[in-house]
Structure 1
Amino acid sequence: MLHVSLRQLEYVVAVGKAGSLSAASKLLSVSQPAISVAITHVEGRLEEPLFIRRKGVPIFPTAFGRVFLKDAETLLNDAERLEKPGVLSQRRQRRITLGILEELAPVWFAPVLVRLTKEYPDIEFRALELSFDTLTRAILSGQIDLGLTYDLGLDGSFDRDVLFRVAPRIWTAPDTQIATRSDITLAEIADLPLILSDQGLSIRHILGLFHAIGFNPVVKHRAASIELLRSLSANGEGYGISYTNPPGSMTYDGLQVARVRISDAHAIEPIVLVSTGSQPEPIGQVRASVADFVARRIPVSEA
């Protein structure tokens, strides 16, 4: 909480420059009593005298006052600059924050950040790995300028560019009958024990895909990461389902795991670049650059 106003600081600095209350009064078109009250208030708050005041002689700042007046003038100059049209927006445009859904971050976080820092060396970029709920709230509140995420039913509050679309995969041990398939439908796996992500939105989305076609599957395990989901699947603990599709067929515990594409049309999920409201430049340029980069660098497994 501020106890000294900018107006009071302005009065104090004016007295320091003018050398008297009367001269400062004329400079500011403010009464001398108002200036005197401001000085008394500031000195009382600081518990230090700012000026040496003697009747009939000019006012001089104390040693403490000289330091304080210099800092106060700097603060007033900064405040005046912030009031000028466009200053805040120009500063903000040189700092752009990108939010990336945590499930997409292992593939896109580093490549996108490296691309942007090379293409726009004068802009300070910050990338954050976030959950879906946190990411969307941050975009709506203005804490994030751009978000890279699955669509997952985003409403009309968001402007979005669809970059590409992905199908979920079912993960299984390589010796199962499913592993021999090139693709499979949700109806064919609805009775299997499933392994899903333990994130609330993700698991609700996957279950919603089954509910949409009249099935209520059993979830045997909830995995905190895609690698745990793959490991459980490879060990025969169920059948994992995820949109995240890392390359390679070996799990961290050294087993082979197979993946099969789920072919239901309603399961296809867009990966989108989102923002909200009007975006001043260079955010619009950065958005176009990210969209082009992602579209050109789609993983082979998703193409």
Structure 2
Amino acid sequence: MNFRQLKYFVATADTGQISRAAKLLSISQSSVTGSVRELEQILGTSLFNRRAHGMELTKAGREFLQVARDILEKVDAAHQINRGTSDISGSLRLAATYTVIGYFLPYHLGRLAQLFPRIDIQIVELDRQSIEAQLLTSQIDMAVALTSNIHREGIETLTLLKSPRRAWVPAGHPFCKRREVSLSQLAQEPYVMLTVDEAAHSSMKYWNSHDAHPNIKLRTSSVEAVRSLVANGQGVTILSDMVYRPWSLEGRRIETVPMDVEIPTMDVGLAFNRATALTPTMKALKSYFSSSFLSPKLQF
């Protein structure tokens, strides 16, 4: 196993397609395909299901993805030791939505503090509408949010991560034996609808587009409540891999099942006022996230 294989695997998982990963890494598609196959042979398991719409992580693939990320991040951190820290100083008013603060941002805030110790990042939690309004009125400098929800004119977005959505079911559910499940099949089960960060609105768009209707048992803004209800057999749901954890607070297991139709991903990224010139601190934040998610790294 080598770093090249890990890097190509992570790029494929993040983009969902061999062609996109190859374009991101500025290499041939055959190089990506070969590296992923080599890795699967080394591990003795399939990391992806090959679908018409792209590459979908298997259960083993999702588990290995975090391991691969940890390895690459630690190697990247080792490289940063020689580079030292930045002299850029100043303050930056950064907003983030509930989901981003809970499931994406904490690690990166720690890395930013190490790399840019003289930047004071003042973070505030806001919903999407407030983020848009405060970006346009310069009350905040930038935001890390669900870019799939932002379409306000005058606001530029930079998507960093596309998190696939899958069905969540309790361990032992009949759906666990299926290779994939349909919306019409999920509609026969009690459904737990997450409402935070416009999750319900996003959900109903793809339900309605396929002329299907969930049997909603409960609406809640708590991801942990959804997790516990599903794990305890009180319903099913569709949520993104970014917020997925295999265990509920009570220690009961949750399984995921791929959908048989293409469900829009949950996209996470940066948002800023298109008309505002980027300050050095804003450029530093944008550069950090771009290099972490959008630039080829660790050339081995």
Q: CA deviation at 1:153?
A: 4.6
**Counterpart among 274, 278, 281 of residue 280 in structure 1:** 278
Secondary structure of the 2:130 match is helix
Counterparts in 2 of 1:69-88, with a 5 A limit? none
Q: CA deviation at 1:223?
A: 2.3
Task: Check whether the contact 1:104–1:244 (CA below 8 A) recurs between aligned residues.
Answer: no
Corresponding letter in the other structure for 2:278: P
CA pair 103-135 structure 1, distance change in 2 beyond 3 A: same
Partner of 2:145: 149
Aligned equivalents of 1:102, 1:135: Cα separation in 2 = 12
Q: CA deviation at 1:173?
A: 1.0
Pairing 1:222–2:219 present:
yes
Q: TM-score, normalised by structure 1?
A: 0.60
Partner of 2:133: 137
Structure 1 runs not aligned, ≥5 long: 1-92, 297-303
Partner of 2:117: 121
Partner of 2:166: 169
Partner of 2:288: 289
Secondary structure of the 2:279 match is coil
Q: CA deviation at 1:267?
A: 1.8
Aligned equivalents of 1:113, 1:99: Cα separation in 2 = 12
Partner of 1:101: 97
Larger radius of gyration: 1
CA pair 260-132 structure 1, distance change in 2 beyond 3 A: farther
Q: TM-score, normalised by structure 2?
A: 0.61
Partner of 2:30: none
Partner of 1:271: 268
Aligned equivalents of 1:156, 1:263: Cα separation in 2 = 34
CA pair 274-238 structure 1, distance change in 2 beyond 3 A: same
Aligned equivalents of 1:210, 1:178: Cα separation in 2 = 19
Structure 2 runs not aligned, ≥5 long: 1-88, 296-300
**Counterpart among 178, 181, 186 of residue 184 in structure 1:** 181
Aligned equivalents of 1:142, 1:244: Cα separation in 2 = 33
Aligned equivalents of 1:207, 1:196: Cα separation in 2 = 10
Task: Check whether the contact 2:161–2:268 (CA below 8 A) recurs between aligned residues.
Answer: yes
Aligned equivalents of 2:132, 2:182: Cα separation in 1 = 30
Task: Check whether the contact 1:98–1:126 (CA below 8 A) recurs between aligned residues.
Answer: yes
Task: Check whether the contact 1:209–1:266 (CA below 8 A) recurs between aligned residues.
Answer: yes
Percentage of pairs with the same residue: 18
Secondary structure of the 2:269 match is strand
CA deviation map 1:200-234 (0-9, x unaligned): 72211101111111123221111231111011011
Aligned equivalents of 1:165, 1:121: Cα separation in 2 = 29
Q: Which has the higher contact order (CA 8 A, sep 6+)?
A: 2
Secondary structure of the 2:129 match is helix
Q: CA deviation at 1:263?
A: 5.4
CA pair 213-130 structure 1, distance change in 2 beyond 3 A: same
Aligned equivalents of 2:263, 2:225: Cα separation in 1 = 26
Partner of 1:232: 229
Counterparts in 2 of 1:248-263, with a 5 A limit? 248-262=245-259
Secondary structure of the 2:99 match is coil
CA pair 255-295 structure 1, distance change in 2 beyond 3 A: farther
Aligned equivalents of 1:197, 1:203: Cα separation in 2 = 6
CA pair 200-112 structure 1, distance change in 2 beyond 3 A: closer
Aligned equivalents of 1:128, 1:98: Cα separation in 2 = 6
Q: CA deviation at 1:182?
A: 4.6
CA pair 138-186 structure 1, distance change in 2 beyond 3 A: farther
CA pair 295-261 structure 1, distance change in 2 beyond 3 A: farther
Partner of 2:37: none
CA pair 128-184 structure 1, distance change in 2 beyond 3 A: farther
Corresponding letter in the other structure for 2:277: Q
**What's the Cα RMSD here?**
2.4
Query: Greater shift after overlay, 112-121 or 223-232?
Result: 112-121
